[in-house]
Structure 1
């Protein structure tokens, strides 16, 4: 019996997502379990990431133990990542087909410090492990509404604020579409939409729209990491930090990243930690990230970092959405269920259970979508609005916005508020 026939819709949906993602990235996707529905994290089957400070220890351990598992020479990739603060290696063929995590297990048993080396994980806007999902909790849905929700905020007095949305790309017609006037002036990497919409088409545009509705005085740029449908909506950690570095060229005060991943042994992402240490921590800029949609408390990176604002999802009645992650990855919760904003016109064929094969036709310039993907830009927009209105630094604006959140000892219940914080 095929794995897709086993279990409930969530399990089937997770399998659908992973199979589609693996097909879009042929030969570059591996996972940590036998059954696709049970995976915890995704990684490149041959790459290893190492911090510059750990290179000597890593190479010496491979030289001492590598013959037990590797059938050739370790190769250091010639790509420069964060001025060589992050080093990428390519493993040769393994003698018994061991995976990258299994090779790292051997090296750590042989004395390499745990966490010195890591798989090159896939960061994605959708697939998650354990039968769950990650950032969109559902595929986009048609809506009869003609206005966004959350609605457009009144134009505040204040300064213009720079926000970069690092995502799947931008739909340029939305900037001049009379149905979405709040997106006028937004720019970004064209995701090259046609009449037949790909999975995750419009994801970055939708998120840019949420930011603009909350903070009209923003200069928004959408930095695309999977434009033209490349990568199936995902990006490797080592490539994501390049995109984040490019995002900094726009001098953002806020970055929104509605994507993330689990990692081997739930260790912090080496690539994202190095980006923060060498780049982000030296600037007046705040990173806001989605907490993920797997309904669990395991760390989801980068949302789980203490330097990142991780955002979980609320339903419209103020309850934490059943799909939302919680715990270390969710510093705060905001509306993420049935959000309405800009979306390309076209025909979309659902790819995931239980709606697989359903045809949805979008022709109003808007869609309805749910997930922590869409809660994150609510918080990013509120932080940008605070900077605009008060002239505060990004860090001070972040702290002010979070301080206004309503604390709750049980985040699963309570009245609708703008923001909620758990476990006061």
Structure 2
């Protein structure tokens, strides 16, 4: 995978959120298209316009179980004076040689079956004595005449206009119409349409494979017993779920201990199944932040632009970040901070757009809106940092949930939006209109 040269900046350079995101999006490229079977293409993005080869439906067919009739034969039909028609046979769905309906004749027809030649309309079975449904069929007259219908005649109690209860050929789409545009994400309805027009395979960009791993010797897997100083690993679960939500095929790797060699070996082992790698933890300045140490020797440093660059961003939460490419195929890697809120906010701002670029989507960002801040007191924000606070959004208003702490997982679980406080704003009063990133 080709990579753009990383922006040259000293170790003390404070990157803006926009600079970091721009560097990521300039490096990541859409995956190469492949041909996939329909069900394998679910969630993928089309790279070709799809033209309808055959009209839908491909022939005039009945929308009801009933009787195919000529309009003149049932004109004026009523309960008192029913039209009596000769039943010449049945027309079932998939029948290759339909019957021909002549004057005074009718054919019993099933839903989806082709309208036989000579017939102009379909009268539902409920309008006849040919079944025991509702309407006239349940009347005493219908019940007394039902045996006669079984001998080759049917009584029709209502008239029908031409084309009544007939689905016209091409009434859904016509041959030559554009069915789907390139760039469409294939969900169940789109796959149904492709199958309906006879497409068994389709050319798409595959869903990107994202490998997620967390780092830290203190991390324990859920369902295991916690020891002194240990916590459960939530980041890898959150980010794997977030990657899947973004459209990726995500693989979660168990937490890796604070050992550079082990982490390096794990990353190199995972490269074979990755279009994008995400690590969380170990990117700050602590003595045990081994991600920097491990990644410093992974990749092709002889290639221009290769390797991982560790940065400080003018944002809260999520100041420490890492980004670059590794391995002979230049797989993009985003190294996120380890605090749960920091890692999740970083994912939404940086990883999710990268996944959407890999998919070949045009719009890669979460939707944003403006909303009135509803809170009892002013919000404070550090000068020079773009702050992202968790909130709940409804009806043009947004309410903060939890505090600014980057460890508040419970508050994060309640949030469906991020409140954006710009770098040059240190206080936001209640009622102020703020920018909101919608997560739902």
Structure label with greater radius of gyration: 2
Q: Which has the higher strand share?
A: 2
Q: Which has the higher helix share?
A: 1
TM-score for both structures, normalised by structure 1: 0.25
TM-score for both structures, normalised by structure 2: 0.24
**Greater relative contact order: 1 or 2 (C-alpha under 8 angstroms, separation 6 or more)?**
1
